[in-house]
C-alpha cells in the first residue's frame, strides 16, 4: 500500500490493522470511532496537531519493510 495525505483512516486500518500503532503514537486515539474511518490522514493530523508528512513517511516505511 502507498500512503498519501488523502488516504482514509478506514482504508489504512482495513489494509493493515497494525498501522494503528502509528496513529496512536501521534496522539490519534480515536481510530476506533466510526467517524474517523472516513477521515483522511491530513484531516486527522490537522485536528490533532500532528505532522502529516511525518506520519505518511512512517507509514510508507512500514509498508516498504513488509514487502
For residue 8, give the 3-state DSSP assignment.
Answer: strand
User: Distance (Å, rounded) from C-alpha 33 to C-alpha 66?
Assistant: 26
> Is residue 6 helix, strand or coil?
coil
Proportion of the chain above pLDDT 70, given as a percent? 100
Q: Rounded to two decimals, what is the model's pTM?
A: 0.92
Per-residue pLDDT tens over the stretch 7-42: 999 999 999 999 999 999 988 887 778 888 899 999
Burial of 9 (0-12, 13-18, 19+ CB in 10 A): buried
CATH number of the domain at 47, please: 1.10.3910.10
* DSSP H stretches of helix in the chain: 9-15, 20-25, 41-48, 52-66
Q: Is residue 16 part of a domain?
A: yes
In the predicted structure, residue 1 carries a pLDDT above the cut 80? yes
Q: Which domain holds residue 48?
A: 9-66
Q: What is the pLDDT of residue 36?
A: 85
In a domain, 1, yes or no: no
Query: Is 27 inside any structural domain?
Result: yes
Output the nine-digit C-alpha cell for 28: 490519534
| Count of domains observed in the chain | 1
Amino acid at each position: 500500500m502507498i500512503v498519501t495525505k488523502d488516504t482514509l483512516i478506514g482504508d489504512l486500518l482495513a489494509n493493515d490493522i497494525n498501522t494503528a500503532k502509528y496513529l496512536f503514537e501521534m496522539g490519534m486515539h480515536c481510530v476506533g470511532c466510526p467517524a474517523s474511518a472516513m477521515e483522511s490522514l491530513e484531516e486527522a493530523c490537522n485536528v490533532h496537531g500532528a505532522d502529516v508528512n511525518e506520519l505518511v513517511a512512517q507509514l510508507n516505511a512500514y509498508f516498504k519493510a513488509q514487502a
